[in-house]
Chains A and B, each alone.
Chain A
Amino acid sequence: MVPFLLPALAVYTLIFVYPAFDAIRVSLFQWNGFTTKMTYIGFGNYQHLLSDPTFWVSLRNTAVIAIGGGVGIFGLAFFFSAILQREIRGKKFFRALMFFPIVLPGVGVGMIWQFVYNRSWGPLSALLNAVGLESFDQTWLGPKLIIPSLTIAVIWTYMGFYLVILMAGIDKIPKSYFEAARMDGASEWRTFWLVTLPMTWDVLVVAMVLWLISAMKIFDLIVATTFPSPPRSGFTMTIFVWERAVGAYTPVFELGYATAIGVVLLFCVVLGVAVLRLITRRERIEY
Protein backbone atom coordinates (compact mmCIF):
# COMPACT_ATOMS: atom_id res chain seq x y z
CA MET A 1 0.00 0.00 0.00
CA VAL A 2 2.73 2.41 0.99
CA PRO A 3 4.66 2.18 -2.30
CA PHE A 4 1.40 2.92 -4.13
CA LEU A 5 0.78 6.09 -2.17
CA LEU A 6 4.26 7.33 -1.46
CA PRO A 7 5.37 8.98 -4.72
CA ALA A 8 2.20 11.06 -5.09
CA LEU A 9 2.14 11.95 -1.38
CA ALA A 10 5.80 12.92 -1.39
CA VAL A 11 5.75 15.19 -4.45
CA TYR A 12 2.44 16.79 -3.49
CA THR A 13 3.63 17.45 0.05
CA LEU A 14 6.99 18.83 -1.02
CA ILE A 15 5.77 21.09 -3.84
CA PHE A 16 2.35 22.18 -2.67
CA VAL A 17 1.64 21.53 1.01
CA TYR A 18 5.01 22.42 2.51
CA PRO A 19 5.17 25.79 0.68
CA ALA A 20 1.59 26.50 1.77
CA PHE A 21 2.56 26.04 5.43
CA ASP A 22 5.83 27.87 4.93
CA ALA A 23 3.78 30.77 3.53
CA ILE A 24 2.25 31.31 6.96
CA ARG A 25 5.76 31.67 8.40
CA VAL A 26 6.98 33.97 5.60
CA SER A 27 3.92 36.17 6.03
CA LEU A 28 5.16 37.12 9.51
CA PHE A 29 8.34 38.64 8.14
CA GLN A 30 9.43 41.70 6.25
CA TRP A 31 11.64 40.51 3.41
CA ASN A 32 12.79 41.87 0.07
CA GLY A 33 14.34 38.62 -1.16
CA PHE A 34 17.72 40.13 -2.02
CA THR A 35 19.36 39.15 1.25
CA THR A 36 18.75 36.29 3.61
CA LYS A 37 17.88 38.83 6.27
CA MET A 38 14.22 38.49 7.16
CA THR A 39 12.85 40.79 9.83
CA TYR A 40 10.22 39.27 12.08
CA ILE A 41 7.31 41.67 12.44
CA GLY A 42 4.62 39.39 13.83
CA PHE A 43 1.24 40.33 12.43
CA GLY A 44 2.65 43.59 11.03
CA ASN A 45 1.89 42.61 7.43
CA TYR A 46 -1.69 41.79 8.30
CA GLN A 47 -2.13 45.07 10.18
CA HIS A 48 -0.70 46.94 7.20
CA LEU A 49 -3.10 45.03 4.94
CA LEU A 50 -6.18 46.18 6.84
CA SER A 51 -5.20 49.81 6.39
CA ASP A 52 -4.21 49.41 2.73
CA PRO A 53 -6.98 50.80 0.50
CA THR A 54 -5.81 48.59 -2.41
CA PHE A 55 -6.59 45.52 -0.32
CA TRP A 56 -10.22 46.55 0.14
CA VAL A 57 -10.55 47.39 -3.56
CA SER A 58 -9.07 43.99 -4.46
CA LEU A 59 -11.34 42.19 -2.05
CA ARG A 60 -14.40 43.95 -3.42
CA ASN A 61 -13.45 43.29 -7.06
CA THR A 62 -12.76 39.62 -6.35
CA ALA A 63 -16.18 39.36 -4.71
CA VAL A 64 -17.84 41.14 -7.65
CA ILE A 65 -16.26 38.75 -10.16
CA ALA A 66 -17.09 35.69 -8.04
CA ILE A 67 -20.70 36.66 -7.30
CA GLY A 68 -21.59 38.66 -10.42
CA GLY A 69 -19.82 36.19 -12.69
CA GLY A 70 -21.41 33.31 -10.78
CA VAL A 71 -24.93 34.68 -11.21
CA GLY A 72 -24.26 35.23 -14.93
CA ILE A 73 -22.66 31.83 -15.42
CA PHE A 74 -25.26 29.75 -13.57
CA GLY A 75 -28.18 31.80 -14.89
CA LEU A 76 -27.01 31.30 -18.46
CA ALA A 77 -26.03 27.69 -17.85
CA PHE A 78 -29.53 26.80 -16.61
CA PHE A 79 -31.06 28.81 -19.42
CA PHE A 80 -29.02 27.04 -22.09
CA SER A 81 -29.45 23.63 -20.47
CA ALA A 82 -33.23 24.12 -20.65
CA ILE A 83 -32.94 25.00 -24.33
CA LEU A 84 -30.63 22.09 -25.07
CA GLN A 85 -33.07 19.67 -23.42
CA ARG A 86 -35.48 20.33 -26.27
CA GLU A 87 -35.48 18.68 -29.66
CA ILE A 88 -32.81 20.90 -31.11
CA ARG A 89 -30.62 20.14 -34.07
CA GLY A 90 -26.87 20.42 -33.53
CA LYS A 91 -27.15 20.02 -29.72
CA LYS A 92 -23.69 18.53 -29.48
CA PHE A 93 -22.22 21.26 -31.65
CA PHE A 94 -23.66 24.06 -29.52
CA ARG A 95 -22.63 22.37 -26.30
CA ALA A 96 -19.08 21.83 -27.56
CA LEU A 97 -18.80 25.39 -28.84
CA MET A 98 -19.96 26.83 -25.53
CA PHE A 99 -17.54 24.60 -23.64
CA PHE A 100 -14.61 25.44 -25.89
CA PRO A 101 -13.33 28.73 -24.30
CA ILE A 102 -12.39 26.97 -21.04
CA VAL A 103 -9.89 24.89 -23.00
CA LEU A 104 -8.16 27.96 -24.40
CA PRO A 105 -5.05 29.21 -22.60
CA GLY A 106 -6.01 32.00 -20.18
CA VAL A 107 -3.32 34.33 -21.52
CA GLY A 108 -4.65 33.77 -25.04
CA VAL A 109 -8.23 34.47 -23.92
CA GLY A 110 -7.10 37.61 -22.12
CA MET A 111 -5.22 38.76 -25.19
CA ILE A 112 -8.29 38.12 -27.35
CA TRP A 113 -10.54 40.16 -25.05
CA GLN A 114 -8.01 42.92 -24.90
CA PHE A 115 -8.22 43.04 -28.71
CA VAL A 116 -12.03 42.92 -28.56
CA TYR A 117 -12.18 45.78 -26.05
CA ASN A 118 -9.58 47.88 -27.87
CA ARG A 119 -11.29 51.19 -28.39
CA SER A 120 -9.42 52.36 -31.46
CA TRP A 121 -9.62 49.21 -33.60
CA GLY A 122 -11.50 46.58 -31.61
CA PRO A 123 -14.72 45.06 -32.95
CA LEU A 124 -16.92 46.04 -29.99
CA SER A 125 -16.45 49.78 -30.41
CA ALA A 126 -16.59 49.37 -34.19
CA LEU A 127 -19.91 47.54 -33.88
CA LEU A 128 -21.45 50.23 -31.68
CA ASN A 129 -20.30 52.93 -34.08
CA ALA A 130 -21.57 51.00 -37.07
CA VAL A 131 -25.11 50.73 -35.71
CA GLY A 132 -25.22 54.32 -34.55
CA LEU A 133 -24.75 53.77 -30.83
CA GLU A 134 -21.59 55.88 -30.56
CA SER A 135 -22.85 57.28 -27.28
CA PHE A 136 -22.49 53.82 -25.71
CA ASP A 137 -18.90 53.48 -26.83
CA GLN A 138 -16.66 53.45 -23.78
CA THR A 139 -13.08 52.97 -22.73
CA TRP A 140 -13.93 49.39 -21.87
CA LEU A 141 -10.77 48.65 -19.96
CA GLY A 142 -10.61 52.05 -18.26
CA PRO A 143 -10.71 52.32 -14.46
CA LYS A 144 -14.49 52.65 -14.35
CA LEU A 145 -15.59 49.73 -16.51
CA ILE A 146 -12.72 47.31 -16.16
CA ILE A 147 -14.38 44.96 -13.66
CA PRO A 148 -17.69 44.66 -15.56
CA SER A 149 -15.75 44.19 -18.81
CA LEU A 150 -13.62 41.47 -17.24
CA THR A 151 -16.69 39.83 -15.73
CA ILE A 152 -18.22 39.53 -19.21
CA ALA A 153 -15.01 37.90 -20.48
CA VAL A 154 -15.05 35.56 -17.47
CA ILE A 155 -18.67 34.56 -18.10
CA TRP A 156 -17.91 33.84 -21.75
CA THR A 157 -14.93 31.70 -20.73
CA TYR A 158 -16.46 29.65 -17.91
CA MET A 159 -20.17 29.36 -18.76
CA GLY A 160 -19.87 26.28 -21.00
CA PHE A 161 -17.87 24.37 -18.40
CA TYR A 162 -20.67 24.66 -15.84
CA LEU A 163 -23.28 24.09 -18.51
CA VAL A 164 -21.78 20.66 -19.20
CA ILE A 165 -21.74 19.80 -15.47
CA LEU A 166 -25.35 20.89 -14.97
CA MET A 167 -26.52 19.07 -18.10
CA ALA A 168 -24.95 15.88 -16.79
CA GLY A 169 -26.89 16.38 -13.56
CA ILE A 170 -30.14 17.02 -15.40
CA ASP A 171 -29.62 13.93 -17.54
CA LYS A 172 -29.66 11.81 -14.40
CA ILE A 173 -33.20 12.92 -13.46
CA PRO A 174 -35.65 10.17 -14.41
CA LYS A 175 -37.57 11.34 -17.47
CA SER A 176 -40.83 10.25 -15.84
CA TYR A 177 -40.56 13.21 -13.44
CA PHE A 178 -40.73 15.67 -16.31
CA GLU A 179 -43.48 13.62 -17.88
CA ALA A 180 -45.48 13.75 -14.64
CA ALA A 181 -44.98 17.49 -14.30
CA ARG A 182 -46.16 17.93 -17.88
CA MET A 183 -49.22 15.75 -17.28
CA ASP A 184 -50.11 17.89 -14.28
CA GLY A 185 -49.96 20.88 -16.56
CA ALA A 186 -46.97 22.52 -14.86
CA SER A 187 -45.44 25.36 -16.85
CA GLU A 188 -41.79 25.10 -17.83
CA TRP A 189 -40.95 27.64 -15.20
CA ARG A 190 -42.69 25.64 -12.46
CA THR A 191 -41.11 22.44 -13.73
CA PHE A 192 -37.74 24.09 -13.38
CA TRP A 193 -38.38 25.20 -9.79
CA LEU A 194 -40.12 22.04 -8.63
CA VAL A 195 -38.29 19.31 -10.55
CA THR A 196 -35.06 20.39 -12.22
CA LEU A 197 -33.63 22.58 -9.47
CA PRO A 198 -34.26 20.30 -6.45
CA MET A 199 -33.19 17.20 -8.38
CA THR A 200 -29.91 18.77 -9.51
CA TRP A 201 -29.22 20.48 -6.21
CA ASP A 202 -26.23 18.32 -5.22
CA VAL A 203 -24.57 18.76 -8.59
CA LEU A 204 -25.29 22.47 -8.49
CA VAL A 205 -23.68 22.84 -5.06
CA VAL A 206 -20.53 21.02 -6.21
CA ALA A 207 -20.44 23.21 -9.32
CA MET A 208 -20.85 26.39 -7.30
CA VAL A 209 -18.08 25.40 -4.91
CA LEU A 210 -15.83 24.70 -7.90
CA TRP A 211 -16.75 28.04 -9.42
CA LEU A 212 -16.10 29.95 -6.19
CA ILE A 213 -12.66 28.40 -5.83
CA SER A 214 -11.67 29.05 -9.43
CA ALA A 215 -13.22 32.54 -9.48
CA MET A 216 -10.97 33.63 -6.64
CA LYS A 217 -7.95 32.22 -8.46
CA ILE A 218 -8.56 33.89 -11.84
CA PHE A 219 -5.30 35.51 -12.82
CA ASP A 220 -4.02 34.82 -16.35
CA LEU A 221 -7.06 36.25 -18.02
CA ILE A 222 -6.90 39.50 -16.09
CA VAL A 223 -3.15 39.93 -16.46
CA ALA A 224 -3.27 39.31 -20.20
CA THR A 225 -6.27 41.57 -20.75
CA THR A 226 -4.83 44.48 -18.83
CA PHE A 227 -1.10 43.91 -19.19
CA PRO A 228 1.12 44.56 -17.26
CA SER A 229 -1.50 45.05 -14.58
CA PRO A 230 -4.89 46.72 -14.40
CA PRO A 231 -5.35 50.19 -12.93
CA ARG A 232 -5.51 49.98 -9.14
CA SER A 233 -9.26 50.30 -9.20
CA GLY A 234 -9.34 47.04 -11.18
CA PHE A 235 -7.10 44.99 -8.87
CA THR A 236 -8.18 41.57 -7.68
CA MET A 237 -6.60 39.60 -4.84
CA THR A 238 -4.53 37.50 -7.22
CA ILE A 239 -3.25 40.55 -9.08
CA PHE A 240 -2.50 42.28 -5.78
CA VAL A 241 -0.30 39.38 -4.57
CA TRP A 242 1.53 39.30 -7.87
CA GLU A 243 2.07 43.05 -8.01
CA ARG A 244 3.44 43.27 -4.46
CA ALA A 245 5.80 40.34 -5.06
CA VAL A 246 7.38 40.50 -8.50
CA GLY A 247 4.81 41.56 -11.07
CA ALA A 248 4.88 45.35 -11.26
CA TYR A 249 6.78 47.21 -13.96
CA THR A 250 9.27 48.24 -11.30
CA PRO A 251 8.93 45.33 -8.87
CA VAL A 252 8.67 46.23 -5.21
CA PHE A 253 9.64 42.81 -3.81
CA GLU A 254 7.52 43.04 -0.68
CA LEU A 255 7.67 39.27 -0.38
CA GLY A 256 6.43 38.97 3.20
CA TYR A 257 3.56 41.32 2.50
CA ALA A 258 2.63 39.54 -0.76
CA THR A 259 2.61 36.20 1.05
CA ALA A 260 0.38 37.64 3.78
CA ILE A 261 -2.10 38.64 1.06
CA GLY A 262 -1.87 35.08 -0.27
CA VAL A 263 -2.73 33.72 3.19
CA VAL A 264 -5.72 36.06 3.35
CA LEU A 265 -6.75 34.87 -0.12
CA LEU A 266 -6.69 31.26 1.10
CA PHE A 267 -8.71 32.33 4.14
CA CYS A 268 -11.26 33.97 1.80
CA VAL A 269 -11.51 30.78 -0.29
CA VAL A 270 -12.11 28.64 2.80
CA LEU A 271 -14.57 31.14 4.26
CA GLY A 272 -16.38 31.52 0.94
CA VAL A 273 -16.78 27.77 0.51
CA ALA A 274 -17.97 27.40 4.11
CA VAL A 275 -20.54 30.17 3.72
CA LEU A 276 -21.72 28.78 0.39
CA ARG A 277 -22.18 25.31 1.86
CA LEU A 278 -24.06 26.77 4.81
CA ILE A 279 -26.45 28.74 2.60
CA THR A 280 -27.05 25.86 0.20
CA ARG A 281 -27.63 23.41 3.04
CA ARG A 282 -30.30 25.57 4.63
CA GLU A 283 -32.19 25.94 1.39
CA ARG A 284 -31.98 22.32 0.55
CA ILE A 285 -35.36 20.98 -0.43
CA GLU A 286 -36.31 17.69 1.19
CA TYR A 287 -38.88 15.48 -0.41
Chain B
Amino acid sequence: MDTATQLVTPAMDRAQQLRARRFAPRQLIGNLPYYAVLLGWAAVTIFILLWLFSGSLKSNIEIFGSPWAIPADPVSAAKQNYSAAWSTAHMGIYFVNSILITVGADLITVVISAPAAYVLSRIPFRGSTLINYYFIAGMGLPFQLILVPLYVLLVQIGLIDTRAGLTLTYVGVSIPFTIILLTGFFRSLPSELEEAGAVDGCSEFGIFWRIMMPIATPGLFTAGIFNFVMIWQEFLLAQLLLSSDSNKTLPVGLMGLRQTMQYNSNWAAMFAAVMIIVVPSFIVFVALSNRIMAGLTLGAGK
Protein backbone atom coordinates (compact mmCIF):
# COMPACT_ATOMS: atom_id res chain seq x y z
CA MET B 1 0.00 0.00 0.00
CA ASP B 2 1.25 3.48 -0.88
CA THR B 3 2.67 5.10 2.24
CA ALA B 4 1.62 8.59 1.11
CA THR B 5 -1.99 7.59 1.66
CA GLN B 6 -1.35 6.09 5.08
CA LEU B 7 -2.96 7.35 8.24
CA VAL B 8 -2.69 11.08 8.65
CA THR B 9 -1.78 12.04 12.18
CA PRO B 10 -2.12 15.29 14.11
CA ALA B 11 1.60 14.96 14.87
CA MET B 12 2.19 16.18 11.34
CA ASP B 13 3.33 19.76 11.29
CA ARG B 14 1.68 22.45 9.27
CA ALA B 15 4.06 22.16 6.30
CA GLN B 16 3.43 18.46 6.06
CA GLN B 17 -0.28 19.04 6.16
CA LEU B 18 -0.05 21.52 3.35
CA ARG B 19 1.99 19.10 1.33
CA ALA B 20 -0.53 16.37 2.01
CA ARG B 21 -3.24 18.65 0.71
CA ARG B 22 -1.31 19.36 -2.44
CA PHE B 23 -1.16 15.65 -3.09
CA ALA B 24 -4.92 15.45 -2.65
CA PRO B 25 -5.69 14.15 -6.15
CA ARG B 26 -3.22 11.33 -5.69
CA GLN B 27 -4.69 10.59 -2.32
CA LEU B 28 -8.12 10.52 -3.86
CA ILE B 29 -7.01 7.89 -6.36
CA GLY B 30 -5.34 5.87 -3.62
CA ASN B 31 -8.55 5.98 -1.63
CA LEU B 32 -10.80 5.09 -4.56
CA PRO B 33 -11.32 1.44 -3.58
CA TYR B 34 -12.32 2.60 -0.09
CA TYR B 35 -14.79 5.08 -1.48
CA ALA B 36 -16.20 2.28 -3.62
CA VAL B 37 -16.77 0.09 -0.56
CA LEU B 38 -18.29 2.92 1.47
CA LEU B 39 -20.54 4.01 -1.35
CA GLY B 40 -21.58 0.40 -1.93
CA TRP B 41 -22.78 -0.01 1.64
CA ALA B 42 -24.36 3.44 1.61
CA ALA B 43 -26.11 2.64 -1.66
CA VAL B 44 -27.77 -0.46 -0.19
CA THR B 45 -29.09 1.51 2.78
CA ILE B 46 -30.23 4.47 0.71
CA PHE B 47 -31.81 2.23 -1.88
CA ILE B 48 -33.77 0.30 0.75
CA LEU B 49 -35.09 3.54 2.26
CA LEU B 50 -35.91 5.17 -1.06
CA TRP B 51 -37.59 2.03 -2.29
CA LEU B 52 -39.70 1.93 0.88
CA PHE B 53 -40.68 5.54 0.33
CA SER B 54 -41.45 5.04 -3.35
CA GLY B 55 -43.53 1.97 -2.49
CA SER B 56 -45.78 4.17 -0.38
CA LEU B 57 -46.35 6.33 -3.49
CA LYS B 58 -47.37 3.45 -5.72
CA SER B 59 -50.59 1.59 -6.35
CA ASN B 60 -50.75 -2.12 -5.58
CA ILE B 61 -50.53 -2.99 -9.25
CA GLU B 62 -47.32 -1.00 -9.56
CA ILE B 63 -45.79 -2.69 -6.53
CA PHE B 64 -46.35 -6.10 -8.03
CA GLY B 65 -44.68 -4.81 -11.21
CA SER B 66 -41.04 -3.89 -11.48
CA PRO B 67 -39.47 -2.69 -8.20
CA TRP B 68 -37.29 -0.26 -10.21
CA ALA B 69 -40.20 1.67 -11.75
CA ILE B 70 -40.82 5.28 -10.71
CA PRO B 71 -44.28 5.86 -9.16
CA ALA B 72 -46.70 6.74 -11.97
CA ASP B 73 -49.12 8.93 -10.05
CA PRO B 74 -47.44 9.57 -6.69
CA VAL B 75 -49.85 12.19 -5.33
CA SER B 76 -53.09 10.30 -5.65
CA ALA B 77 -51.45 6.99 -4.68
CA ALA B 78 -49.95 8.66 -1.62
CA LYS B 79 -53.34 10.11 -0.63
CA GLN B 80 -54.94 6.71 -0.93
CA ASN B 81 -52.19 4.76 0.84
CA TYR B 82 -51.57 7.15 3.69
CA SER B 83 -55.27 7.71 4.39
CA ALA B 84 -55.83 3.94 4.30
CA ALA B 85 -53.04 3.50 6.82
CA TRP B 86 -53.75 6.57 8.97
CA SER B 87 -57.55 6.38 9.23
CA THR B 88 -58.87 3.03 8.04
CA ALA B 89 -56.10 1.09 9.73
CA HIS B 90 -56.14 3.42 12.80
CA MET B 91 -52.46 4.29 12.56
CA GLY B 92 -53.50 7.81 13.61
CA ILE B 93 -54.81 6.54 16.95
CA TYR B 94 -51.74 4.36 17.46
CA PHE B 95 -49.51 7.29 16.64
CA VAL B 96 -51.04 9.43 19.41
CA ASN B 97 -50.80 6.51 21.87
CA SER B 98 -47.17 5.94 20.95
CA ILE B 99 -46.33 9.60 21.50
CA LEU B 100 -48.12 9.74 24.89
CA ILE B 101 -46.61 6.51 26.19
CA THR B 102 -43.11 7.13 24.86
CA VAL B 103 -42.84 10.71 26.08
CA GLY B 104 -44.46 9.89 29.44
CA ALA B 105 -42.31 6.85 30.16
CA ASP B 106 -39.20 8.63 28.95
CA LEU B 107 -39.72 11.65 31.20
CA ILE B 108 -40.49 9.59 34.28
CA THR B 109 -37.52 7.31 33.66
CA VAL B 110 -35.06 10.18 33.41
CA VAL B 111 -36.57 12.05 36.37
CA ILE B 112 -36.30 9.09 38.75
CA SER B 113 -33.03 7.71 37.36
CA ALA B 114 -31.08 10.97 37.55
CA PRO B 115 -31.03 11.29 41.37
CA ALA B 116 -30.28 7.58 41.76
CA ALA B 117 -27.42 7.75 39.28
CA TYR B 118 -26.12 10.89 40.99
CA VAL B 119 -25.98 9.20 44.39
CA LEU B 120 -24.44 6.02 42.96
CA SER B 121 -21.70 7.85 41.12
CA ARG B 122 -20.82 10.79 43.39
CA ILE B 123 -21.58 9.84 47.00
CA PRO B 124 -19.62 6.90 48.43
CA PHE B 125 -21.64 4.76 50.84
CA ARG B 126 -21.76 1.13 51.96
CA GLY B 127 -23.53 -1.04 49.40
CA SER B 128 -23.19 1.47 46.61
CA THR B 129 -21.35 -1.01 44.38
CA LEU B 130 -23.91 -3.68 45.16
CA ILE B 131 -26.82 -1.45 44.16
CA ASN B 132 -24.93 -0.49 41.02
CA TYR B 133 -24.58 -4.15 40.05
CA TYR B 134 -28.22 -4.69 40.90
CA PHE B 135 -29.16 -2.14 38.26
CA ILE B 136 -26.59 -3.37 35.73
CA ALA B 137 -28.00 -6.90 36.03
CA GLY B 138 -31.19 -5.63 34.40
CA MET B 139 -29.30 -5.19 31.14
CA GLY B 140 -29.01 -8.96 30.82
CA LEU B 141 -32.64 -9.81 31.58
CA PRO B 142 -34.56 -10.78 28.45
CA PHE B 143 -38.16 -9.52 28.29
CA GLN B 144 -39.22 -13.03 27.32
CA LEU B 145 -38.40 -14.16 30.84
CA ILE B 146 -40.90 -11.84 32.49
CA LEU B 147 -43.81 -12.08 30.04
CA VAL B 148 -46.12 -14.25 32.11
CA PRO B 149 -45.30 -12.89 35.60
CA LEU B 150 -45.52 -9.30 34.35
CA TYR B 151 -48.91 -9.94 32.79
CA VAL B 152 -50.17 -11.43 36.05
CA LEU B 153 -48.72 -8.53 38.03
CA LEU B 154 -50.47 -5.92 35.90
CA VAL B 155 -53.75 -7.82 36.19
CA GLN B 156 -53.31 -7.79 39.97
CA ILE B 157 -52.65 -4.05 40.19
CA GLY B 158 -55.43 -3.35 37.71
CA LEU B 159 -53.26 -1.82 35.00
CA ILE B 160 -53.55 -4.50 32.35
CA ASP B 161 -54.52 -3.17 28.92
CA THR B 162 -54.04 0.45 29.96
CA ARG B 163 -51.63 3.01 28.61
CA ALA B 164 -50.62 3.80 32.20
CA GLY B 165 -49.68 0.16 32.76
CA LEU B 166 -47.50 0.05 29.67
CA THR B 167 -45.92 3.39 30.60
CA LEU B 168 -45.03 2.08 34.06
CA THR B 169 -43.61 -1.08 32.50
CA TYR B 170 -41.41 0.92 30.16
CA VAL B 171 -40.13 2.98 33.07
CA GLY B 172 -39.20 -0.21 34.93
CA VAL B 173 -37.34 -1.81 32.04
CA SER B 174 -35.62 1.43 30.92
CA ILE B 175 -34.13 2.21 34.35
CA PRO B 176 -31.07 -0.10 34.13
CA PHE B 177 -29.73 1.37 30.90
CA THR B 178 -30.54 4.94 31.93
CA ILE B 179 -28.75 4.55 35.25
CA ILE B 180 -25.66 3.02 33.63
CA LEU B 181 -25.52 5.85 31.10
CA LEU B 182 -26.06 8.58 33.69
CA THR B 183 -23.60 7.19 36.26
CA GLY B 184 -21.00 7.21 33.49
CA PHE B 185 -21.90 10.80 32.78
CA PHE B 186 -21.89 12.01 36.40
CA ARG B 187 -18.52 10.34 37.01
CA SER B 188 -17.03 12.43 34.22
CA LEU B 189 -17.89 15.69 36.00
CA PRO B 190 -15.24 17.42 38.18
CA SER B 191 -15.49 16.72 41.94
CA GLU B 192 -14.85 20.36 42.99
CA LEU B 193 -18.49 21.08 42.26
CA GLU B 194 -19.98 19.41 45.31
CA GLU B 195 -17.18 20.65 47.52
CA ALA B 196 -17.97 24.21 46.55
CA GLY B 197 -21.65 23.56 47.25
CA ALA B 198 -20.91 21.97 50.61
CA VAL B 199 -18.72 24.90 51.62
CA ASP B 200 -21.56 27.26 50.74
CA GLY B 201 -23.83 25.26 53.05
CA CYS B 202 -25.99 23.63 50.41
CA SER B 203 -28.07 20.63 51.49
CA GLU B 204 -27.59 17.30 49.71
CA PHE B 205 -30.70 18.00 47.69
CA GLY B 206 -29.58 21.55 47.02
CA ILE B 207 -26.26 20.36 45.63
CA PHE B 208 -28.04 17.88 43.39
CA TRP B 209 -30.75 20.24 42.21
CA ARG B 210 -28.93 23.58 41.91
CA ILE B 211 -25.41 22.51 41.03
CA MET B 212 -25.46 19.09 39.40
CA MET B 213 -28.69 19.22 37.41
CA PRO B 214 -27.85 22.29 35.33
CA ILE B 215 -24.51 20.88 34.18
CA ALA B 216 -25.99 17.40 33.76
CA THR B 217 -28.52 18.58 31.18
CA PRO B 218 -26.57 17.22 28.18
CA GLY B 219 -26.36 13.80 29.82
CA LEU B 220 -30.05 13.78 30.72
CA PHE B 221 -30.88 14.85 27.20
CA THR B 222 -28.82 12.02 25.72
CA ALA B 223 -30.50 9.50 28.03
CA GLY B 224 -33.85 10.94 26.97
CA ILE B 225 -33.10 10.50 23.28
CA PHE B 226 -31.90 6.96 23.79
CA ASN B 227 -34.97 5.98 25.71
CA PHE B 228 -37.19 7.65 23.14
CA VAL B 229 -35.65 5.56 20.37
CA MET B 230 -35.93 2.33 22.38
CA ILE B 231 -39.44 2.85 23.74
CA TRP B 232 -40.81 4.15 20.45
CA GLN B 233 -40.01 0.85 18.78
CA GLU B 234 -40.82 -1.59 21.59
CA PHE B 235 -43.13 -4.30 20.36
CA LEU B 236 -43.07 -7.40 22.56
CA LEU B 237 -44.34 -5.93 25.84
CA ALA B 238 -46.83 -3.64 24.10
CA GLN B 239 -48.27 -6.58 22.19
CA LEU B 240 -48.51 -8.60 25.40
CA LEU B 241 -50.07 -5.94 27.62
CA LEU B 242 -52.47 -4.09 25.30
CA SER B 243 -55.52 -5.69 23.77
CA SER B 244 -58.00 -2.84 23.12
CA ASP B 245 -57.55 -1.25 19.75
CA SER B 246 -57.81 2.25 21.26
CA ASN B 247 -54.75 1.65 23.48
CA LYS B 248 -52.35 0.13 20.98
CA THR B 249 -49.02 1.66 20.01
CA LEU B 250 -47.59 1.94 16.49
CA PRO B 251 -45.48 -1.25 16.44
CA VAL B 252 -48.44 -3.31 17.66
CA GLY B 253 -50.76 -1.60 15.18
CA LEU B 254 -48.31 -2.17 12.37
CA MET B 255 -48.12 -5.89 13.09
CA GLY B 256 -51.91 -6.04 13.30
CA LEU B 257 -52.10 -4.32 9.95
CA ARG B 258 -49.64 -6.87 8.60
CA GLN B 259 -52.09 -9.54 9.68
CA THR B 260 -55.08 -8.00 7.87
CA MET B 261 -52.98 -7.29 4.79
CA GLN B 262 -52.59 -11.04 4.45
CA TYR B 263 -56.23 -11.11 3.44
CA ASN B 264 -56.79 -7.92 1.48
CA SER B 265 -53.26 -7.67 0.05
CA ASN B 266 -53.14 -3.90 0.30
CA TRP B 267 -49.36 -3.83 0.25
CA ALA B 268 -49.18 -0.19 -0.79
CA ALA B 269 -50.89 0.83 2.45
CA MET B 270 -48.39 -1.36 4.31
CA PHE B 271 -45.56 0.65 2.80
CA ALA B 272 -47.28 3.83 3.96
CA ALA B 273 -47.77 2.38 7.45
CA VAL B 274 -44.09 1.43 7.69
CA MET B 275 -43.23 4.98 6.62
CA ILE B 276 -45.42 6.37 9.41
CA ILE B 277 -43.46 4.43 12.03
CA VAL B 278 -40.04 5.04 10.46
CA VAL B 279 -40.28 8.79 9.76
CA PRO B 280 -40.30 9.99 13.42
CA SER B 281 -37.19 7.90 14.14
CA PHE B 282 -35.61 9.31 11.01
CA ILE B 283 -36.33 12.90 12.06
CA VAL B 284 -35.00 12.32 15.57
CA PHE B 285 -31.88 10.78 14.11
CA VAL B 286 -31.19 13.46 11.52
CA ALA B 287 -31.66 16.20 14.12
CA LEU B 288 -29.70 14.53 16.90
CA SER B 289 -27.39 11.90 15.39
CA ASN B 290 -24.20 13.44 16.80
CA ARG B 291 -25.59 13.48 20.29
CA ILE B 292 -26.90 9.93 20.00
CA MET B 293 -23.52 8.66 18.86
CA ALA B 294 -21.67 10.67 21.50
CA GLY B 295 -23.99 9.34 24.20
CA LEU B 296 -23.35 5.82 23.06
CA THR B 297 -19.65 6.12 23.72
CA LEU B 298 -20.45 7.70 27.07
CA GLY B 299 -22.57 4.75 28.19
CA ALA B 300 -20.75 1.84 26.62
CA GLY B 301 -17.25 2.96 25.87
CA LYS B 302 -16.07 3.51 29.37
On A, residues with C-beta under 8 Å from B are 1, 3-5, 7-9, 11-12, 14-20, 22-23, 26, 33, 79-80, 83-88, 94-101, 103-108, 111-112, 115-116, 120-123, 126, 156, 161, 164-165, 168-169, 175-176, 178-179, 182, 187-188, 203, 206-207, 210, 213, 216-217, 219-220, 223-224, 227-228, 237-238, 241-242, 245-246, 255, 258-259, 261-263, 265-266, 269-270, 273
Contact = CB atoms under 8 A, between A and B. Distances in A.
26 contacts: A4-B119, A5-B119, A8-B112, A16-B146, A16-B172, A17-B134, A20-B149, A22-B149, A23-B145, A23-B148, A26-B148, A83-B34, A85-B7, A88-B31, A99-B289, A103-B229, A107-B233, A108-B278, A111-B258, A165-B297, A178-B9, A188-B6, A241-B147, A262-B145, A265-B142, A266-B142
B140 A19 contact: no
B168 interface: yes
Nearest to B12: A179
B250 interface: yes
Given A88-B34, A97-B46, A266-B140, 18 more contacts: A9-B131, A15-B150, A86-B34, A104-B278, A105-B232, A107-B235, A108-B278, A112-B52, A115-B52, A175-B11, A223-B235, A227-B259, A237-B144, A242-B236, A246-B240, A259-B145, A259-B147, A266-B145
B148 A269 contact: no
A174 to B, nearest CB: 9
Interface in B13-60: 20, 27, 31, 34-35, 37-38, 41-42, 44-48, 51-52, 55
Interface string B131-155: 1001100111111111111101100
Interface stretch (B73-81, B82-90, B173-181): B173-181
Contacts of A112: 48, 52, 274
Interface residues of B, number: 97
A87 B27 contact: yes
Contact of A111 (B45, B148, B149, B274): B274
B281 A94 contact: no
Contacts, number: 274
Contacts of B142: 216-217, 238, 262, 265-266, 269
Tell me the interface secondary structure of chain A in the complex. Answer: helix
Contacts of A175: 9-11
Contacts of A262: 142, 144-147
Quick one: which of A12, A98, A116, A156 has the most chain B CB within 10 A?
A12
A98 B37 CA distance: 12
Given A9-B116, A87-B8, A97-B45, A23 B146 contact: yes
A126 B236 CA distance: 33
A121 B138 contact: no
Contact of B148 (A99, A105, A107, A258): A258
A107 B3 contact: no
B104 interface: no
A224 B245 CA distance: 19
Contacts of A216: 142
A4 B115 contact: yes
A206 B139 CA distance: 13
A25 B262 CA distance: 39
B254 A108 contact: yes
Interface in B284-302: 284-285, 289, 292-293, 296-297, 300-301
B277 interface: yes
Contact of B274 (A7, A84, A108, A187): A108
Nearest to A124: B67
Contacts of B224: none
B126 to A, nearest CB: 11
B263 interface: no
Given A86-B34, A259-B147, A15 B173 contact: yes
Contacts of A87: 5, 8, 20, 27, 31
A246 B144 CA distance: 11
Contacts of B292: 99, 103
Contacts of B296: 161, 164-165, 168
A12 B147 contact: no
A15 B169 contact: yes
Contacts of A100: 45, 282, 285, 289
A164 B284 CA distance: 18
A20 B278 contact: no
